[in-house]
Amino acid sequence: MKSFTKITGIAAPMDRANVDTDMIIPKQFLKSIKRTGFGKNLFDELRYLDEGQPDQDCSGRPLNPEFPLNFPRYRNAKVLLARENFGCGSSREHAPWALDDYGFRCIIAPSFAEIFYNNCFKNGLLPIVLDADIVDRLFKEMYAQEGYELTIDLEAQTVKTPSGETFEFEIDEFRKHCLLNGLDDIGLTLEHEDAIKAYEAQRRQEAPWLFDGLR
């Protein structure tokens, strides 16, 4: 997995609450059996004026001029500012894959839906929770200043604004460790193979029916 240490990048807005994963990446693109290539269809129904199709060349599609990610000032944004309950709905990991493929490295919101929040960490994407009033201030500052950049330092657990103001955020130690070092958590879990086998042996005694194979 890609590691995340410190980034500085343009912030872009997704200024609505309850942005669901259907909105992040519509279902027709879920038919892909790959992990890559979803960026061009990120927020497809908001970003384009027509209905997108899988495997389509998007370069000639009509863009929605009112959608912020289409504004030149947000080009190459790395940080997405969002509102409450971002990523709700379906468990599709295609949502973080699309955000990552588009170029985002970090999403800041007052709250996230849990499955989406989890999925981000598996893909080197950092979801940051800040108080709603702080997020609201960041939105206002971003709208007021073209080229508004945020610096995210995972080691220090801080978000720094262009004026130098710094906000701290919380993150689980284990997730931080994995993200800083780009660790594959399957490999980490398999280091505990003996513990898993010991659990199985004991459980097999207590509840043998749980080990009846599906045949």
Partner 1 sequence: MSARTLYDKLWDAHLVQKRDDGSALIYIDRHIIHEVTSPQAFEGLRLAGRKPWRADSILATPDHNVPTTLKERASGVSGIQDPVSLIQVKTLDDNCDEYGITEYKINDQRQGIVHVIGPESGASLPGMTIVCGDSHTATNGALGALAHGIGTSEVEHVMATQCLVAKKMKNMLIRVDGQLRPDVTSKDVVLAIIAKIGTAGGTGYAVEFGGDVFRNMSMEGRMTVCNMAIEAGARAGMVAVDQTTIDYVEGRPYAPKGENWEKAVQAWRDLKSDDGAHFDRVVEMRGEDIKPQVSWGTSPEMVVSIDDNVPDPEAEQDAVKRESMKRALQYMGLSAGQPMRSIQLDRVFIGSCTNSRIEDIRAAAAVVRGHRKADSVKEAIVVPGSGSVKAQAEREGLDKIFIEAGIEWREPGCSMCLAMNADKLGAGEHCASTSNRNFEGRQGYGGRTHLVSPAMAAAAAIAGHFVDVREITGGQAA
Binding site for partner 1 (CB under 8 A): 16-18, 20, 22-23, 26-28, 30-35, 45, 51, 54-55, 83-85, 88-93, 96, 111, 113-115, 118-119, 122-123, 172-174, 184-186, 189-190, 192, 195-196, 199-200, 203, 206-210, 212-215
Least distance to partner 1, CB of residue 169, Å: 16
Residue 58 or 162 having the CB closest to partner 1: 58
Backbone dihedral region of 55: left (phi > 0), alpha (psi from -120 to 50 degrees) or beta?
left
Cα–Cα nearest to 125, from 148, 99, 91: 99
Residue 2 or 75 having the CB closest to partner 1: 2
Least distance to partner 1, CB of residue 159, Å: 21
Least distance to partner 1, CB of residue 105, Å: 17
- Residues 157, 163, 164, CA angle at the centre, nearest 5°? 35
Residue 78 or 92 having the CB closest to partner 1: 92
Query: Residue 158 and residue 160: Cα distance in Å, rounded?
Result: 6
Residue 164 or 208 having the CB closest to partner 1: 208
Least distance to partner 1, CB of residue 3, Å: 16
Cβ proximity of 77 and 103 under 8 Å: yes
Phi, psi of 109 (to 5 degrees): -150, 160
- 124 C-beta neighbours (distance < 10 Å), count: 16
